Amino acid sequence: MARVVIGLSGGVDSSVAAYLLKQQGHEVTGLFMINWHDTTGTLEGDCPWHDDRVFAELVAKKLDIALHVVDLSADYRTRVVDYMFSEYGKGRTPNPDVLCNREIKFDVFLREALKLGADFVATGHYCRKAEERLPDGRTVYKLLAGADPNKDQSYFLCQLSQEQLRYAMFPVGELLKPEVRRIAAEQGLATARRKDSQGICFVGKVDLPVFLQQKLASKKGNIHEILPSWPKYRNGLPAGQPAQNGTLAPAQAAGDTAPAGQPVPEAEPTDGQLEALAAPWRYTVRDGKKIGEHNGAHFYTIGQRKGLGIGGRRESLFILATDTAQNVVYVGEGDAHPGLWRPALHIAPGEIHWVNPARALSPGQSARFSVRIRYRQPLQGARLFVRDEGAYLVFDTPQRGITPGQFAAWYDGDELIGSGVIAE
């Protein structure tokens, strides 16, 4: 059996993961992370990690395992929170949970666990791991979706490397959430009825503008409404034809029926067509009418509908685009507004990450995958095209709220093959 250090967070998932590891005969040690001290902008509690630590201690005592505490707040601030501030300042919307896993839980925390003599590091994530031996003798570690479709967290781990996966264990990945709750209750674990954490990883639920104002100043600007009749919605993309609903559907290549993950060489679109399909909608103040004011374009994200303070509409207003340089926010009325929908996205060359490097595509190749562009989004059919200029994901149907700074992750069945940061 192995020496396993588990990240005990004070939640039910990691608690049951620790119990299962002990049942399997492993030598288990708990490690609790302190990652955030500042409570600026938080909506609940003064220092939520204090409560988390108490619950972690109760679980460790019940399971009779040692519990160590490590303060990683300096690394968390520089590698996750400062990145968040930087991205929001550029008008992009980062995903701190994906960053937290890549930069903290499976990097800084992993190194701390190795200092304690760990053979493996375990977490309470709802995902699974598999291994494959390649013909050349190399071992590839695969990241698989969790067995519970309602709790699958593989998306949050879409930036992990082979080295990080090599050490990872996911003891609850084969279980459904109700089973985890049941085990915790049967074993008398203090976390059995504890609510799942929400909000920013290790920070909690926040008032985002207040939180961001630690680094990003408020700045009055204008809100402009773009009408669904804006001419470029009908004529904007040369590679597609207007669909019945007024959005642009991507051109489907002939013979595009290959299994997921298999290169599809025929009927490849030109680089220019891919660039046009993936281009975001771009507006100027002349394209719409001013209908209100905001406190800073960097506080808003594409697809957002709350926080505008403009009422009296038949349908909600949604953010279509933000211009942080000019400090303008563009909005449209209704969930079906064509400005919310796009047929494709672009990933810059340096932002393409292959979780399974044996499945990597070379420039000039393309393949079909199932894709999600946010956590819990149902998987969407798409073709991934790799070019010298980066990667392009062209979806079978237009997607709502493609957001720069977020991660697109592509799957073949249950396996998460790769991911990348959406460029624009």
Burial class (CB in 10 A: 0-12, 13-18, 19+), 355: buried
Q: Positive or negative, the Cα torsion across 416, 418, 423, 424?
A: negative
The one catalytic residue among 47, 100, 127, 158: 100
The count of C-alpha atoms lying within 13 angstroms of the C-alpha of 324, restricted to the half-sphere facing its C-beta, is 17
Q: Residue 127 catalytic?
A: no
Type of residue at 41: G
- What are residue 73's phi and psi, to 5 degrees? -65, -35
Q: Which of 122, 109, 106, 120 shows the shortest CA–CA distance to 17?
A: 122
Burial class (CB in 10 A: 0-12, 13-18, 19+), 266: exposed
Q: What angle do CA 313, 316, 318 make, to 5 degrees?
A: 125
d(CA 305, CA 388): 36
Burial class (CB in 10 A: 0-12, 13-18, 19+), 253: middle
Q: Which two tokens stand for residue 262?
A: 């298999």
State the alpha helices, DSSP H only, in 65-150: 73-76, 82-89, 96-100, 109-115
Q: Which two tokens stand for residue 74?
A: 């300096």
Supply the DSSP symbol for 204. Answer: B
d(CA 145, CA 130): 11
Q: Which two tokens stand for residue 347?
A: 């990933």
Q: Residue 158 catalytic?
A: no
Type of residue at 421: V
Type of residue at 124: G
d(CA 312, CA 333): 11
Q: Which of 36, 35, 32, 34 shows the shortest CA–CA distance to 8?
A: 32
- What are residue 223's phi and psi, to 5 degrees? -105, 125
- What are residue 85's phi and psi, to 5 degrees? -60, -45
Q: Which residues are catalytic?
A: 100, 201
